[in-house]
Chain A
């Protein structure tokens, strides 16, 4: 089985967001593998271990993403590819990223592609379905279970609280939802091995892609932080009085009940 995992490097969930000069300031921030992509890496490794084959993790980004790719290799992925766009592309959006990934995957004959259902920074959830569409293969989003028998794939898809049992066949792209598995931590031997595993670095020129064909179709014109909530009001008195006051405030001051 030839498995690919699309992996985005993203801010650690613990990070506070700071804006300077109209941009998100990443100085000193910790970065992680997008949590949903970690589920993808884990599931891909498990499938490979039971069915044989190879797991390749691929990321579009800057040279910094090498660290997250190495982590995925340490977890057990076989190969990593970094498509480094730093020097070639100034602006891009979900379309750009999907186009680059699809161009790369075009001739790889992937049987199964994992993406996260959403990246916790950009948050659009577009890249998975867009890549599948560009490759002309079907996709199933937000899966919490996947079983493969031959070319047949059975999945459970989480849909706003209910779950769908879905059938499809390979080749297929799926996006991971929380609950799919418990991603492993890289082991020490895993980390040692990862250092020797292949990590290929490509640039746009290495792909059969004209930069204009991947030009962004959207533009960000402003970034800002939500207004800070003023310190809340802690109610006082006996519990009974607090409850009464709360209901009163919700009704007459906040007007939400």
Chain B
């Protein structure tokens, strides 16, 4: 059953986030041969639209307005409603990112539709599209279908691989104008807290520190390791509570839920709330001086030792290899 699908692309610092391309791959599965329209909204986004087509969208719709310079639920929902009005999609795909989490329930409510949040896998089966999503913060999974109305879902970053980029792909780029007014929330200021280049939810590699890191200073070797591996730094709540790092780095049941290819836990005991946030990572490495630590139960590879000895050694070895290669 083919469906007309729209997928919302996301722009950050003037570039498309990877989730945009993952969204296109998800939209393709849902579309089952139907047309996939990528939507970009912002102050100036036209230049980014061709990339959405290179990654598999059939065409792109842009909504440009100075009032869309910063995300607000009112501004973005009005713009997206204008697009929906023209395209008349049967399905809509969002990223389960800060923006998508905030906007998708409002859109679902406006359309009187069901929404499946935080999908990690999508498959077409008969007339149904089946979405898999974690529940109980990753301690279990459920498979869900939409039974009524427009099919809406938000997908978790890093789980649905994007399609191969093909710069020879072509497709139309259309502008839709929207009347955007009466913004009831106003963004006055944005302060970048994290000085990380790689976002935790999108990182392929995460080096995470716990109370065993002992101080803010102690995170330095972990940052170096993340750096050589092109990854991001995360933390346990233990480390955040002890003020070694910011809460925005917290991974777990009341923090971020992450699924990188490689998760390196340093000085983290492996409390059940922490495991909920990371145990679905593809490969887990644990470095802990306590051989009985719970974290070893979910680790593919474990090193029993002092992280202040092991982590710098890892950095040195990896650097040496990089120079050779």
Is A150 part of the binding interface, using a Cβ–Cβ cutoff of 8 Å? no
Number of interface residues of B (CB under 8 A): 93
Secondary structure dominating the interface of A: mixed
B303 A235 Cβ-Cβ under 8 A: yes
Question: With A and B bound together, what is the CA distance between A244 and B318 in angstroms?
Answer: 9
A161 B200 Cβ-Cβ under 8 A: yes
Question: With A and B bound together, what is the CA distance between A17 and B146 in angstroms?
Answer: 25
Output the least CB separation between B305 and chain A (Å): 5
B108 A130 Cβ-Cβ under 8 A: yes
Is B178 part of the binding interface, using a Cβ–Cβ cutoff of 8 Å? no
B301 A249 Cβ-Cβ under 8 A: yes
Interface string of B130-144 (1 = CB under 8 A from A): 100111111111111
**Which residues, 97 to 129 on A, are CB-close (under 8 Å) to B?**
98, 120-129
Interface string of A124-165 (1 = CB under 8 A from B): 111111101110001111100000000000000011111111
A17 B136 Cβ-Cβ under 8 A: yes
| B residues less than 8 Å from A126 (CB atoms) | 104-105, 108, 115, 117
| B residues less than 8 Å from A218 (CB atoms) | 114-116, 144-147
Output the least CB separation between B92 and chain A (Å): 14
Kindly identify which residue among A123, A132, A217 contacts B146, using a CB–CB cutoff of 8 Å. Answer: A217
B313 A221 Cβ-Cβ under 8 A: no
Question: With A and B bound together, what is the CA distance between A231 and B136 in angstroms?
Answer: 23
Output the least CB separation between A115 and chain B (Å): 11
Output the least CB separation between B26 and chain A (Å): 17
* Contact A13:B247 (CB < 8 A) given known A161-B200, A225-B140: no
Output the least CB separation between A203 and chain B (Å): 24
B139 A16 Cβ-Cβ under 8 A: yes
| B residues less than 8 Å from A229 (CB atoms) | 279, 284, 297-298, 300
Kindly identify which residue among B106, B114, B148, B321 contacts A129, using a CB–CB cutoff of 8 Å. Answer: B106
* Contact A239:B194 (CB < 8 A) given known A161-B199, A167-B188, A219-B147: no
Kindly identify which residue among B144, B200, B250, B285 contacts A246, using a CB–CB cutoff of 8 Å. Answer: B285
Question: With A and B bound together, what is the CA distance between A220 and B109 in angstroms?
Answer: 20
Binds A, one of B43-51, B95-103, B215-223: B95-103
Interface string of B280-309 (1 = CB under 8 A from A): 101111100001000011111111110001
Is A178 part of the binding interface, using a Cβ–Cβ cutoff of 8 Å? yes
Question: With A and B bound together, what is the CA distance between A122 and B118 in angstroms?
Answer: 11
A94 B317 Cβ-Cβ under 8 A: no
**Which residues, 207 to 257 on A, are CB-close (under 8 Å) to B?**
215-226, 229, 231-235, 239-240, 242-244, 246-247, 249-250, 254, 256-257
A223 B142 Cβ-Cβ under 8 A: yes
Number of interface residues of A (CB under 8 A): 76
Is A54 part of the binding interface, using a Cβ–Cβ cutoff of 8 Å? no
B296 A232 Cβ-Cβ under 8 A: yes
Question: With A and B bound together, what is the CA distance between A178 and B256 in angstroms?
Answer: 11
| A residues less than 8 Å from B269 (CB atoms) | none
B109 A13 Cβ-Cβ under 8 A: no
| A residues less than 8 Å from B201 (CB atoms) | 160
A165 B247 Cβ-Cβ under 8 A: no
B143 A220 Cβ-Cβ under 8 A: yes
Question: With A and B bound together, what is the CA distance between A141 and B105 in angstroms?
Answer: 11
| B residues less than 8 Å from A206 (CB atoms) | none
**Which residues, 212 to 240 on B, are CB-close (under 8 Å) to A?**
229
Kindly identify which residue among B109, B140, B187, B304 contacts A166, using a CB–CB cutoff of 8 Å. Answer: B187
Interface string of A185-222 (1 = CB under 8 A from B): 00000000000000000000000000000011111111
A234 B135 Cβ-Cβ under 8 A: no
| B residues less than 8 Å from A165 (CB atoms) | 187-191
Extra contacts, 18 of them, besides A124-B117, A217-B113 (Cβ < 8 A), are A13-B253, A13-B276, A17-B136, A17-B140, A126-B104, A134-B109, A138-B185, A160-B97, A166-B186, A178-B247, A224-B142, A225-B140, A232-B299, A233-B300, A234-B304, A239-B310, A249-B301, A254-B283
A contact residues vs B (CB 8 Å cutoff)? 11, 13-14, 16-17, 19, 24, 35-36, 93-95, 98, 120-130, 132-134, 138-142, 158-169, 178-179, 215-226, 229, 231-235, 239-240, 242-244, 246-247, 249-250, 254, 256-257
B contact residues vs A (CB 8 Å cutoff)? 70, 73-74, 97-98, 101-102, 104-106, 108-110, 112-118, 130, 133-149, 184-194, 196, 199-201, 205, 229, 246-250, 253-255, 261-262, 272-273, 276, 279-280, 282-286, 291, 296-305, 309-310, 313-314, 317-318, 321
Q: List 24 interface pairs A-B (beta carbons < 8 Å), by A numbering.
A: A17-B136, A95-B114, A120-B254, A124-B118, A128-B105, A132-B106, A139-B106, A160-B98, A160-B200, A160-B201, A161-B248, A161-B249, A165-B187, A167-B185, A232-B302, A234-B296, A234-B302, A234-B304, A242-B305, A243-B313, A244-B317, A246-B301, A254-B282, A257-B229
